Amino acid sequence: MPAASEIIQSGAASGSRAFQVTEHVVSYPVRKTRRKIPKIVLQLVVPVILFAFWILVTEKEWIKPYFIPRLEKIAVRFVEMIRFESLLDDFWVSFHVMLIGYVLGVTLGLIQGFMLGISRLNDTLFSPTLNAIRQVPLLAWFPLFVLFFGINTPMKVVFITVGVFVHVYLNVYQGIRAVNKEYIEVASVFEYTRWQTVRRVIFPAAFPAIYTGLRLAASFSWGYVVFAEMMNGRHGMGWILNDAQELLDAPRLYVAIVIIGFFGFFLDYLLGLLEKRVMHWKRQPI
Amino acid sequence: MKADTESFLVLKNLSMVFNKGTTQEVVALQDVNMDIARGEFISIIGTSGCGKTTLLRIIAGLETEYDGHALLNGKPIIKPGLDRGVIFQDHRLLPWLTIEKNVGFGLRNGSKAYRAERIKTHINLVGLTGFEKSFPHQLSGGMAQRAAIARGLVNEPDVLLLDEPLGALDALTRMHMQKELERIWKQEEQADKTDNALTMIMITHDVEEAVYLSDRIVIMSARPGKLKRIIPVPLARPRDRDSFDFIKIKDELLEEFHLQAEKYFSYTI
């Protein structure tokens, strides 16, 4: 692209005295547009660095290989666990116990949360007691549950149900209480009955808060089942953790942790996707 | 165009006290008396705290603890109803519903075809054709307010109560919407030539808006909320904002608030 000076000069050189429109082409120093680094690449930078660090540590044996085994050892152990040990069975045990407890807890939590949120009477009757009981951390209840319900699956289901229930009912209750009075007034202006208002205004308005409660409760329930299996029983991912620790089998431990972590992440990711689908009317942060 | 003069909406000795008997007692309204005829366009104007929103809410049925009488067609107003549509200052569209579902929210009964037709008519009436499937957060303030007006009208109420409907809009949109409100009011009247003329009661801060749109302007004073004066606006429509009569009434209104322009001379013809 010729610079301005050249064009003006060429115009002058042609000798024309008539008015000539010269196109001023000015070359600005062009600012280099920053090449866009895809987000996913940035997100992977830290994990890759951690991996690299791990490999470095295991190669140089800065820490005893007993604590930080080589990555290949963990991978090999993983395959062994699937083929020769009961990894898949254990995973299934954890998964389906969590599922039953989650579904039960959510159902009860939704019902109770709704009752408390909508009926002032229920709220006054039950909230104080529930709030008091809620202050005890769930894990502290565990020994009592073992006493009442034994050490097997029924106890674990109850344990998870109670944990999920506490999370869900609270979120439902608060979600309903937080519904804008303004929307409820709109419903009353259009002669909506109490029940119609609940169905068409209160529930949709509270739904984001309720869904958040459900999503968090899912993460928690996975943690609860692993915990319960660590304490008691002979099956499940939690049991693997405990057993591996007792047998000083570090690779097995790592395999179990990775699987537990991945599944938790995956579950939450799925629920996040679902959230976007269901609440497409809301502008979402991730 | 004016409907029968029989008293349609009667307010007699209307008073409203909030937190009666406590230390935070507030006299929102004191001894308000007003007769509104069917089909009238009334504006209520006043400074903040003069009880105009309370007055509107009483007529809407959203405030029930009042003293005195508020009668619609002879019957006391005790709760909200479909015969009285309300347009709030914030549009209050339900954010999880599309515009057409929001407008349909106001429609309580009817077959699917009937509802669809009514919703369509009213969306066109407010000039939002093409935005049926949009969500409220995708619309500008003026458009959302128009959707709220459509929702308020879709059930063909006898009275439309508007609480500063154009307050959140910019000046240009506001002028446009004033014309739209007048058009809608007239259109509803003509569509239903029987005695179901639409009565509009509007709260506004805009003096010019009040003179432009109303048959009568109600002036309220604050603390306690009292009806100060009612100014009739007997001008033909559509009104010219620059005509002498218009400006005279506007000045009269401003005088009530001690905001009139300095006068260097005055004359009468």
Half-sphere exposure of residue A245: CA atoms within 13 angstroms, side-chain side: 10
The answer on A123 and A15 residing in a single domain is: no
CB B188 within 8 A of CB B224: no
* Helix A71-83 with A87-118: angle, nearest 10 deg: 90
Q: Do A281 and B137 touch (CB under 8 A)?
A: yes
Cα–Cα distance between A222 and A257 in angstroms, integer? Answer: 13
The mean per-residue pLDDT over the stretch A116-127 comes to 90
Residue B268, amino acid? T
The residue in chain A having the minimum alpha-carbon distance to the alpha carbon of residue B101 is A200
Q: Do A188 and B62 touch (CB under 8 A)?
A: yes
The residue in chain A having the minimum alpha-carbon distance to the alpha carbon of residue B86 is A189
Q: CA-CA-CA-CA torsion for A177, A182, A184, A190, nearest 10 degrees?
A: 180
The residue written with tokens 């990894």 in the block is A87
Is the minimum CB–CB distance between A182 and chain B shorter than 8 Å? yes
The residue in chain B having the minimum alpha-carbon distance to the alpha carbon of residue A185 is B62
| pLDDT score recorded for residue B124 | 87
The residue written with tokens 């439309």 in the block is B160
Cα–Cα distance between B265 and B173 in angstroms, integer? Answer: 35
Measure in Å the smallest separation between the Cα of A107 and chain B Cα atoms: 24
Contacts of B109 in chain A (CB under 8 A): none
The answer on A266 and A190 residing in a single domain is: yes
The pLDDT-based confidence of B5 (bands split at 50, 70, 90) is: very low
Q: Do B90 and A182 touch (CB under 8 A)?
A: yes
Residue A285 placed within a domain:
no
Q: Do A190 and B155 touch (CB under 8 A)?
A: yes
Measure in Å the smallest separation between the Cα of A185 and chain B Cα atoms: 8
The residue written with tokens 């419903």 in the block is A187
Q: Which residues on chain B place their C-beta less than 8 Å from a C-beta of chain A?
A: 60-62, 79-82, 84-86, 88, 90, 92, 94-97, 105-106, 108, 135, 137, 155
- pTM for the full predicted model: 0.77
Structural domain span for residue A225: 79-278
| Two tokens, residue A286 | 């991730």
Half-sphere exposure of residue A91: CA atoms within 13 angstroms, side-chain side: 16
The pLDDT-based confidence of B226 (bands split at 50, 70, 90) is: confident
What is the pairing mode between strands B159-163 and B199-204?
Answer: parallel
Is the minimum CB–CB distance between A201 and chain B shorter than 8 Å? yes
Measure in Å the smallest separation between the Cα of B82 and chain A Cα atoms: 5
Contacts of B106 in chain A (CB under 8 A): 190
Contacts of B105 in chain A (CB under 8 A): 186, 190, 200
Residue A135, amino acid? Q
The pLDDT-based confidence of B177 (bands split at 50, 70, 90) is: confident
The answer on A228 and A267 residing in a single domain is: yes
CB A3 within 8 A of CB A25: yes
The mean per-residue pLDDT over the stretch A25-38 comes to 69
The answer on A95 and A70 residing in a single domain is: no
Q: Mean pLDDT in chain A?
A: 85
The answer on A175 and A48 residing in a single domain is: no
Strands ordered across the beta sheet of B84-87: B84-87, B159-163, B199-204, B41-46, B216-221, B226-232
The mean per-residue pLDDT over the stretch A130-138 comes to 90
The answer on A249 and A202 residing in a single domain is: yes
* Mutate which: A180, A181, A182, A186, vs B, most B CBs within 10 A: A186
Contacts of A205 in chain B (CB under 8 A): 94, 96
List beta partners, residue B69. Answer: B12
pLDDT in tens, B75-116: 898 889 888 999 998 889 999 999 999 999 988 888 888 899
The answer on A123 and A136 residing in a single domain is: yes
Contacts of A282 in chain B (CB under 8 A): 95-96
* CATH number of the domain encompassing residue A217: 1.10.3720.10
List beta partners, residue A171. Answer: none
The pLDDT-based confidence of B180 (bands split at 50, 70, 90) is: confident
The mean per-residue pLDDT over the stretch A74-88 comes to 88
Between residues A87 and A216, the one the model is more confident about:
A216
The answer on A176 and A103 residing in a single domain is: yes
CB B119 within 8 A of CB B103: yes
Cα–Cα distance between B81 and B60 in angstroms, integer? Answer: 8
Cα–Cα distance between A222 and A262 in angstroms, integer? Answer: 11
Measure in Å the smallest separation between the Cα of A189 and chain B Cα atoms: 5
| Minimal Cβ distance to B62: which of A185, A205, A282 | A185
Residue B35 phi/psi, 5-degree rounding, is: -120, 125
Q: Is the pLDDT of residue A5 over 70?
A: no
User: Percent of chain B having pLDDT more than 70?
Assistant: 91
The pLDDT-based confidence of B60 (bands split at 50, 70, 90) is: very high
CB B59 within 8 A of CB B230: no
The mean per-residue pLDDT over the stretch B199-213 comes to 91
The answer on A248 and A209 residing in a single domain is: yes
Residues 6 or more apart whose CB falls under 8 angstroms from that of B195 comprise B3, B4, B38
Structural domains of chain A, count: 3
Q: Is the pLDDT of residue A283 over 70?
A: no
Contacts of B95 in chain A (CB under 8 A): 281-282
Residue A190 placed within a domain:
yes
| Two tokens, residue A170 | 């609270």
Residue A283 placed within a domain:
no
- Residue A61: how many other CB atoms lie within 10 Å: 10
Cα–Cα distance between A27 and B96 in angstroms, integer? Answer: 51
| pLDDT score recorded for residue B2 | 42
Q: Over B120-189, what HEC string results?
A: HHHHHHCCCCCCCCCCHHHCCHHHHHHHHHHHHHCCCCCEEEEECCCCCCCHHHHHHHHHHHHHHHHHHH
Residue A160 placed within a domain:
yes
Cα–Cα distance between B90 and B88 in angstroms, integer? Answer: 5
The answer on A65 and A17 residing in a single domain is: no
Q: Is the pLDDT of residue A217 over 90?
A: yes
Measure in Å the smallest separation between the Cα of A276 and chain B Cα atoms: 13
List beta partners, residue B204. Answer: B45
Cα–Cα distance between B86 and B151 in angstroms, integer? Answer: 9
Q: Do A189 and B86 touch (CB under 8 A)?
A: yes
Residue A12 placed within a domain:
yes
The pLDDT-based confidence of A10 (bands split at 50, 70, 90) is: very low
The answer on A44 and A15 residing in a single domain is: no
Q: Do A182 and B88 touch (CB under 8 A)?
A: yes
| Minimal Cβ distance to B135: which of A186, A191, A281 | A281
Contacts of B88 in chain A (CB under 8 A): 182, 185-186
The mean per-residue pLDDT over the stretch A139-149 comes to 91
Measure in Å the smallest separation between the Cα of A190 and chain B Cα atoms: 5
Residue A61 placed within a domain:
yes
Q: Do B96 and A281 touch (CB under 8 A)?
A: yes
Q: Do B95 and A200 touch (CB under 8 A)?
A: no
Residue A150 placed within a domain:
yes
Residues 6 or more apart whose CB falls under 8 angstroms from that of A1 comprise A25, A27
* Helix A87-118 with A153-177: angle, nearest 10 deg: 40
Residue A286 placed within a domain:
no
pLDDT in tens, A15-30: 445 555 556 666 666 6
Which residue ranges form the domains of chain B, and what is each CATH number?
Answer: 7-83+157-256 (3.40.50.300)
| Two tokens, residue B88 | 């709030």
Q: Is the pLDDT of residue B64 over 70?
A: yes
Q: CA-CA-CA-CA torsion for A157, A160, A162, A163, nearest 10 degrees?
A: 180
| Minimal Cβ distance to A183: which of B62, B92, B135 | B92
- The helix (run of H) or strand (run of E) holding residue B101 is helix B99-105
| Two tokens, residue B162 | 């508007």
Cα–Cα distance between A228 and A138 in angstroms, integer? Answer: 11
The residue in chain B having the minimum alpha-carbon distance to the alpha carbon of residue A192 is B108
The answer on A121 and A61 residing in a single domain is: no
Q: Give the ipTM of the model, two decimals please.
A: 0.83
Cα-based distances in Å from A72 to A55, A112, A142, B13:
10, 50, 37, 89
